[in-house]
Amino acid sequence: MGIKVYGSPVSTCTARVLAVIEELGLEYELVPVDLSTGEHKRPPHIERNPFGQIPALEDGDLVLFESRVITRYLVRKYGKGSDLLKEDTPVEAATVDQWIEVETQHFNGPVSAVVFQHLFLPLFFGGTTDEKAAAAEAEKLGKVLDVYEVKLSKTKYLAGDFYSLADLHHLSYGHYLIAATPHGSLIHSRPHVKAWWDRITSRPASKKAAAGLVLSI
Ligand code: GS8
């Protein structure tokens, strides 16, 4: 019984999990969960994730939800000694944890709001982009990326001079920010953030994972 990912390749949180799977070179099966019919809110998916969201992972007897927990599990189980968490060195591991937390607490909120306004709202909910709300979130995101710009002027990646989950966790929302909103310049106008973005997206695993992120309006 191999790794099964329940989700959708166009979902940012599913793509986060697929990015680490590609990075580790693991075999897996993507089992589609159709959000448009509410499949995620009904059994059997609701038993995999009681919050009725995607993705969920099945690996043997283990069933896990929360994309950033799934990525850490996969690295711990299948990526021993890899730089993705740097668990062998407590100081570097703490730095990876810190920037993983920064993505979750500071980057994810505004970037997901901008992508929601420009992509998911019109595409899935038939709504119209609230330009004012989107611009306010874009401004917040810019302030977060100002902090990244300073950090990335000192190291090649967020946690140091090695690629880690802290970087990888940004791929899917960053992709849609550039491909599906008018706010891609938030990344491209900051030279160190841009160089970091080019570095992390040019990895073969990142390209493979991004291939599923095909939504546009
Ligand atoms: C968020 C999951 C989520 O928002 C995680 O796994 O990281 N913190 C969780 N999933 C969205 C799809 S976005 O990729 C989802 O399932 N939305 C449908 C819903 O909430 O009803």
List pLDDT tens digits, range 148-201: 999 999 999 999 999 999 999 999 999 999 999 999 999 999 999 999 999 999
Residues framing ligand 1 (Cβ under 6 A) = 11-14, 35, 40, 52-54, 66-68
- Which pLDDT belongs to residue 1? 67
Task: Give whole-number Cα distances, 91 to 43, 81, 85, in Å.
Answer: 42, 15, 11
Judged by phi (left if over 0) then psi (alpha if -120 to 50, else beta), residue 86 lies in left
SS3 64: strand
Mean predicted lDDT score pLDDT of the chain: 97
Give dist(CA 128, CA 42) in Å, integer: 29
Residue 208 has pLDDT above 90, yes or no: yes
**Residue whose CA is closest, atom 17 of ligand 1?**
53
**Residue whose CA is closest, atom 9 of ligand 1?**
66
Give dist(CA 159, CA 214) in Å, integer: 29
Q: How far does the centroid of ligand 1 lie from the alpha carbon of residue 13, in Å?
A: 6
Give dist(CA 84, CA 75) in Å, integer: 7
Q: Is the Cβ–Cβ distance between 173 and 120 less than 8 Å? A: no
Q: Is the Cβ–Cβ distance between 114 and 137 less than 8 Å? A: yes
- Out of 12, 53, 104, 115, give the residue to mutate to test ligand 1, the one with the largest number of ligand atoms within 8 Å of its CB: 53
Residue 10 has pLDDT above 90, yes or no: yes
Residue of 57, 200, 186, 55 whose CA lies nearest to 114: 186
Q: Alpha helix (H) ranges present in 54-152? A: 67-78, 90-102, 108-115, 121-125, 131-152
How many residues are there in the chain? 217
pTM: 0.97
- Which pLDDT belongs to residue 128? 97
Q: How far does the centroid of ligand 1 lie from the alpha carbon of residue 170, in Å?
A: 15
Instruction: Please state the atom number of ligand 1 nearest to the C-alpha of residue 13.
Output: 14
**pLDDT (tens digit, 9 = 90+) per residue, 104-152?**
999 999 999 999 999 999 999 999 999 999 999 999 999 999 999 999 9
